Amino acid sequence: MCLYYSAPKAGNANNLIFSKMSKIGSYIQEAYDELLHKVSWPSWDELQQTTMIVMVALLLVTAVVYGMDLGIKAVLTFIYNLLGK
C-alpha cells in the first residue's frame, strides 16, 4: 500500500484545466443550440392567453387565502372573547 502523495505534474494540471474548460464551453454551446433549434416557443397569442390564465389563478388563490385569513381571525377573536382575553 502506497501512503505518499505525489503532486500532479505541471503538464497534467494544465491538461486537466483545459479539459474542464472545454467541457464547460461545449455545455454552453449545446444549451444554446437546444434553445434555438429544439425548444418550441409559444406564439404571442399563446403567451398572452397563458399569462391571463396565470393572473386569474393568482387572483383566485389570493382571494381564497384572504378569506381563510378572515375566517381564522373571526374564529380566534370569538374564542378569545369567550375566554375573557
* Full domain range(s) for residue 50: 42-85
The verdict on 46 and 34 lying in the same domain is no
Within this chain, do residues 4 and 21 fall inside the same structural domain, yes or no? Answer: yes
What ranges in the chain are assigned the alpha helix state H? 10-37, 44-83
Same domain, 24 and 55: no
Note whether 11 and 19 are within 8 A (CB): no
CA angle 45–49–50, rounded 5-degree value = 120
| pLDDT tens, residue by residue, 42-84 | 999 999 999 999 999 999 999 999 999 999 999 999 999 999 8
How many structural domains comprise the chain? 2
Same structural domain for residues 52 and 29? Answer: no
Mean pLDDT value across residues 21-32 = 89
